[in-house]
Amino acid sequence: MPHAPTIVAAAGGPTLSRIVAGAWRMDSWRFSVDERVRWIEGCLDLGITTFDHADIYGGYGVEALFGEALAAAPHLRERMQIVTKCGIRMMSPARPEHRLGHYDTSAAHVERSVDNSLAALRTDSIDVLLIHRPDALMDADALADCFGRLRAAGKVRHFGVSNFTPSQFALLNDRIGLVTNQIEASPLRVAPFHDGTLDQAQALRVAPMIWSALAGGRLFTGQDDAARRVRAVLERLAGERGIGVTTLVYAWLLRHPARLIPLTGSRRLDAMREAVAALDVEIDAQTWYEIWVAGNGAPCP
């Protein structure tokens, strides 16, 4: 059975599994507590030990669903790393005080969000806390001080960001060391490969986490020209290698020297196995560029 290895996200940072389980859709799975426990156990058995959350997922409900499973099987906590995100004030019945959807990286909001996440997840500490989106009003010094207090209190071990540009990452990283930037990348989202995001990650030796590796399913069902073009290339290359398209896409991401850490989120453990299987697939540079060119929509200059 394929088994995901681990990776050190950054110098002095956490050790994460090479493939991460995204729990963002858990509220739509309609799993019982026992079924959630079995899903977590299945991921762990595959070597997927890192689980990705955000306070807003499921209308502020997914963390609590995961926490119920941990409360039913508390021994599983020591086998995993929990990543969660905060910094978005989403309008929701669960947060009636939010009169406007916006970003908030104030110390008060971050600290309150961490306390809420700890209670929902039924855990004493978060392994990695990410700021979910760039905040135009982010005070880097104040946020770094906030992170320091959370670390000193034992509530959060490491910090990172999500969806930050290289300059935004550099600003906060200058104040307090960040261990990852969780970004969108896929054969239909190739901008990070040439906009400096992955150059910075490689320069700083900070492994980026990758969300929407399958372009939200658009790789399989999209009818736009780009999706059709990329799908045709992926299907041909996967067929030549006797593997699934999903496995090929994850292998394509893993091939990059910035040490990408892809997320995958499915209720089906077979789908998680397809992602882990990519760790045993090697693709050469020409194959990698065939996929990149299809996604870019133009040949290499």
The whole-angstrom separation of Cα 136 and Cα 156 is 24
pLDDT digits (tens, 9 = 90+) for 42-56: 999 999 999 999 999
Cβ atoms of 83 and 52 within 8 Å: the answer is: yes
How does DSSP classify residue 242?
T
Closest of 217, 220, 196, 198 to residue 209, by C-alpha: 198
Kindly report the CATH class assigned to 19-179.
Answer: alpha beta
Instruction: Supply the pLDDT for residue 229.
Output: 97
Tokens of 140: 């880097």
281: CB partners within 8 A, 6+ apart: 241, 243, 247, 248, 251
Report, as ranges of residue numbers, the positions in the chain whose pLDDT lies below 50: none
Instruction: Supply the pLDDT for residue 3.
Output: 75
pLDDT digits (tens, 9 = 90+) for 192-210: 999 999 999 999 999 999 9
% of the chain beyond a pLDDT of 90: 97
Instruction: Supply the pLDDT for residue 4.
Output: 77
Which residues are catalytic, by number? 57
Instruction: Supply the pLDDT for residue 1.
Output: 52
**Domain boundaries along the sequence of the chain:** 19-179
Is-above-0.85 flag for pTM? yes
261-264 and 209-211 strand pairing: parallel
